[in-house]
């Protein structure tokens, strides 16, 4: 049992929370994982605080649960998996260390949200490769560490993007910097030499950032991260393409991404696009949804410093040929939605209330990765399962995001429900857990398993579980970091 006074000695009294009502906020989230109340919540202010907290946790065998984003949480990874835990709330670490136009990179602490980082990089004429409408409180570092899909597949060379380097205190208590940040030299010395912490791999024959990503805080606590940024376009022209047939849009997406033409490029169903664009509920939502075809492709053309008009006009003409072959027609408006309005919306964090909560107050996401050929069948499988479970299929949001420059597709099904309605909640919960095996059998890869389903998914691959546990023993030998998550 950890003593409060020892926590106070590290982070000061004002940054240790022990009031039951406050602890209750960290005991559960909007996922279906069981509630477990932490013993304390601590709010470190700097790297040194974190190092001391980990040292103390090792001495007292206290589980630590790192949290970077503010509430509401959705995936259960920040809910303690065992009793007696201390939540390490990093949301107050908000220093933006650097935004570097020349090398297209930004560096920041884990508490920095998208709304806070976007203006800072915009001042340097840079932009982030954003996930789809993150909530206001979402930490940028956490989003990258969770390998969340991003909207611009042409700039998503690797599934780890846009994460570059991190500084981490491993569960073993040792500080480590990944990639080019490792050294030689301090960050300041590296900057002076011309370095920018943009090389994520290494040093040498290991890429530690990949082990930290996707680990849900089970390896250590990240104290800063650097993110690859892209240039702010000088000109943009977005388009919408509608179809009742997903395969037609997929064909167009394949060629758009293969030729690396658009920046933002994603497919939504009418339910999700209406949920994103509606301002007045439910009338706007219904009207927009009814005005749209089942599937909508959104893409955005961009020009930069040199001949932006010529670049975009050339791309528009090239896309006409591709779209014609796919049997679809791009336009600036579709139904009640303007492509320019949608562009503004997706280049920022979600307005309040968070877009996934607007319909019914709660939402469960089922998501996985697959390849081009399997997206259609997996969408049908999920729709069939929803229908069988009694979930109204037309109310299910669907988001398909090409990632890794078209080698992968993130498929996401948003199950909106009323959390006050026990029957509805139970139905969604059963659907969320009951479809995993049938989706996997048809080519769904759950690369980011959270909450209740993670054991089912991890157990499909015993060799990987064994190897991951060996790595865990290297980095967190006392198993103090977020126990109970994934296969740990």
Partner 1 sequence: MALKRDFYKGLEDILGPEFVSDDPVITETYANPVRAGLPTGARFEAITLPKNTEEVQAIVRLCNKHKVQYKASSTGWLYSDPAGPNCIKIDLRRMNHIIEINEKSMYAVVEPYVIGAQLQAECMKRGLNCNLTGAGSNCSALPLAAHVNLGHLSQSGSYGERNQLALEWVTGDGEIVRLGSLGSIDEWFCGDGPGPSLRGIIRGNTMPLGGLGVYTKAAQKLYHWPGPATFPMEGVSPKYKPAYIPPGFLVRYFSFKTLDLMIDAVLKIGEAEIATELMCFNAAMMASNLATQNMEEEIEIYNKFKDSVLGPGFMVLIAADSARDFEYKKRVLQLIVDETGGKALEEVEDPENQGGYVWRYFRETGSIKETGRVLAPQAGMVGGGDSFPLMSYFIKSCSKVKAKLIADGSLFDDGTSPFIQSIEHGHTGHGEVLARISIRVKDPRQVQRVINNASNEIAIKEFFGVPQHVWSDTLHDMYGPNASNYHLWLRKIKKTFDPNNASEASTYITAKE
Burial 86-123 (b: 16+ CB within 10 A, else e): bbbbbbebeebebbbeebbbbbbbbbbbbbbbbeebee
**Residue with Cβ nearer partner 1 (10 or 107):** 107
CB atoms < 10 A from the CB of 58, how many? 17
Q: Is 68 in the site for partner 1 (CB under 8 A)?
A: no
- Determine the Cα–Cα distance for residues 454 and 472; give it in Å rounded to an integer: 17
Contacts of partner 1 in 362-401 (CB under 8 A): 369-373
Q: Which stretch binds partner 1 (CB under 8 A): 44-52, 301-309, 386-394, 423-431?
A: 301-309
Q: Could you tell me which residues come within 8 angstroms of residue 478 by beta carbon, excluding any fewer than 6 positions away?
A: 58, 61, 171, 172
- Determine the Cα–Cα distance for residues 51 and 58; give it in Å rounded to an integer: 11
Cβ atoms of 131 and 120 closer than 8 Å? no
Which phi and psi (to 5°) does residue 459 adopt? -70, -10
Size of site (CB under 8 A) for partner 1:
95
Burial 356-371 (b: 16+ CB within 10 A, else e): bbbbbebbbbbbbbbe
Q: Is 470 in the site for partner 1 (CB under 8 A)?
A: yes
Q: Smallest gap, in angstroms, from Cβ of residue 281 to partner 1?
A: 36
**Residue with Cβ nearer partner 1 (115 or 452):** 452
Q: Is 427 in the site for partner 1 (CB under 8 A)?
A: no
> Which one among 70, 72, 84, 195 touches partner 1, defined by CB under 8 A?
195
Using CB under 8 A as the criterion, what x/- string covers residues 164-183 for binding partner 1? Answer: ----------xxxx--x-xx
Q: Is 231 in the site for partner 1 (CB under 8 A)?
A: yes
CB-count burial class (<10 Å; 0-12, 13-18, 19+) for 204: exposed
> For residue 291, what are its two tokens?
């005005």
> Which one among 45, 94, 311, 427 touches partner 1, defined by CB under 8 A?
311
> Which one among 7, 33, 201, 301 touches partner 1, defined by CB under 8 A?
201
Q: Is 211 in the site for partner 1 (CB under 8 A)?
A: yes
Q: Is 445 in the site for partner 1 (CB under 8 A)?
A: yes
**Residue with Cβ nearer partner 1 (101 or 136):** 101
> Which one among 212, 222, 323, 386 touches partner 1, defined by CB under 8 A?
212
> Which one among 36, 142, 268, 404 touches partner 1, defined by CB under 8 A?
404
> Which one among 85, 297, 337, 457 touches partner 1, defined by CB under 8 A?
457
**Residue with Cβ nearer partner 1 (13 or 466):** 466
Which has the closest alpha carbon to 181: 170, 165, 194?
A: 165
Q: Smallest gap, in angstroms, from Cβ of residue 268 to partner 1?
A: 21
**Residue with Cβ nearer partner 1 (11 or 141):** 141
Cβ atoms of 147 and 160 closer than 8 Å? yes
Q: Which stretch binds partner 1 (CB under 8 A): 43-51, 87-95, 344-352, 406-414?
A: 406-414
Give the position of tokens 């492709």: 297
Q: Is 247 in the site for partner 1 (CB under 8 A)?
A: no
**Residue with Cβ nearer partner 1 (143 or 213):** 213
Q: Which stretch binds partner 1 (CB under 8 A): 60-68, 350-358, 404-412, 426-434?
A: 404-412
Around 54, how many Cα atoms within 13 Å sit in the side-chain half-sphere? 28
Q: Which stretch binds partner 1 (CB under 8 A): 29-37, 39-47, 270-278, 314-322?
A: 314-322
- Determine the Cα–Cα distance for residues 25 and 147; give it in Å rounded to an integer: 25
Q: Smallest gap, in angstroms, from Cβ of residue 106 to partner 1?
A: 13
CB atoms < 10 A from the CB of 61, how many? 12
Using CB under 8 A as the criterion, what x/- string covers residues 106-145 for binding partner 1? Answer: ----------------------------------------
Q: Which stretch binds partner 1 (CB under 8 A): 8-16, 60-68, 101-109, 287-295?
A: 101-109
Q: Smallest gap, in angstroms, from Cβ of residue 270 to partner 1?
A: 25
> Which one among 70, 214, 419, 483 touches partner 1, defined by CB under 8 A?
214
Contacts of partner 1 in 329-368 (CB under 8 A): none
Contacts of partner 1 in 255-284 (CB under 8 A): 258-260
**Residue with Cβ nearer partner 1 (280 or 306):** 306
Contacts of partner 1 in 142-161 (CB under 8 A): 147, 157-160
> Which one among 70, 202, 336, 419 touches partner 1, defined by CB under 8 A?
202
């Amino acid at each position: 049992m950890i003593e409060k006074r020892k926590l106070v000695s590290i982070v000061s009294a004002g940054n240790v929370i022990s009031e039951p009502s406050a602890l209750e906020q960290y005991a559960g989230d909007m996922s279906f994982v069981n509630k477990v109340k932490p013993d304390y919540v601590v709010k470190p202010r700097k790297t040194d605080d974190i190092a001391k907290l980990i040292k103390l946790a090792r001495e007292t065998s206290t589980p630590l649960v790192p949290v970077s984003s503010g509430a509401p949480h959705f995936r259960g990874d920040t809910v303690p998996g065992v009793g007696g835990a201390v939540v390490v709330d990093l949301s107050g670490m908000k220093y933006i260390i650097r935004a570097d136009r020349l090398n297209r990179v930004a560096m920041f602490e884990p508490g920095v949200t998208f709304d806070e980082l976007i203006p800072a990089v915009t001042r340097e004429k840079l932009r982030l490769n954003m996930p789809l409408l993150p909530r206001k409180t979402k930490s940028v570092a956490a989003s990258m560490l969770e390998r969340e899909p991003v909207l611009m597949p042409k700039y998503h060379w690797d599934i780890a993007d846009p994460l570059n380097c991190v500084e981490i205190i491993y569960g073993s208590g040792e500080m480590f910097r990944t990639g080019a940040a490792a050294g030689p030299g301090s960050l300041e010395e590296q900057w002076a030499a011309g370095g920018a912490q943009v090389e994520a791999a290494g040093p040498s024959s290991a890429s530690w950032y990949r082990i930290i990503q996707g680990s849900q805080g089970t390896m250590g606590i990240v104290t800063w991260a650097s993110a690859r940024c892209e240039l702010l376009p000088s000109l943009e022209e977005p388009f919408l393409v509608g179809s009742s047939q997903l395969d037609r849009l997929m064909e167009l997406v394949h060629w758009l991404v293969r030729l690396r033409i658009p920046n933002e490029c994603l497919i939504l169903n009418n339910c999700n696009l209406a949920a994103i664009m509606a301002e007045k509920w439910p009338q706007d939502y219904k009207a927009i949804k009814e005005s749209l075809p089942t599937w909508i492709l959104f893409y955005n053309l961009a020009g930069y410093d040199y001949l932006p008009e010529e670049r975009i006009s050339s791309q528009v003409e090239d896309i006409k040929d591709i779209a014609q072959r796919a049997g679809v027609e791009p336009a600036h408006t579709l139904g009640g939605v303007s492509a320019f309005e949608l562009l503004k919306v997706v280049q920022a964090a979600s307005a309040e209330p968070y877009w996934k909560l607007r319909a019914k107050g709660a939402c469960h996401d089922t998501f996985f990765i697959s390849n081009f050929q399997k997206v259609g069948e997996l969408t049908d499988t999920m729709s069939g399962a929803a229908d069988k479970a009694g979930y109204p299929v037309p109310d299910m949001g669907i988001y398909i995001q090409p990632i890794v420059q078209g080698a992968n597709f993130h498929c996401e099904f948003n199950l909106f429900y009323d959390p006050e309605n026990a029957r509805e909640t139970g139905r969604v919960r059963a659907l969320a857990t009951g479809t995993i095996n049938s989706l996997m059998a048809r080519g769904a890869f759950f690369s980011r398993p959270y909450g209740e389903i993670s054991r089912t998914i991890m157990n499909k691959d015993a060799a990987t579980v064994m190897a991951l546990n060996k790595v865990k023993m290297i980095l967190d030998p006392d198993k103090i970091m977020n126990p109970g998550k994934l296969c740990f």
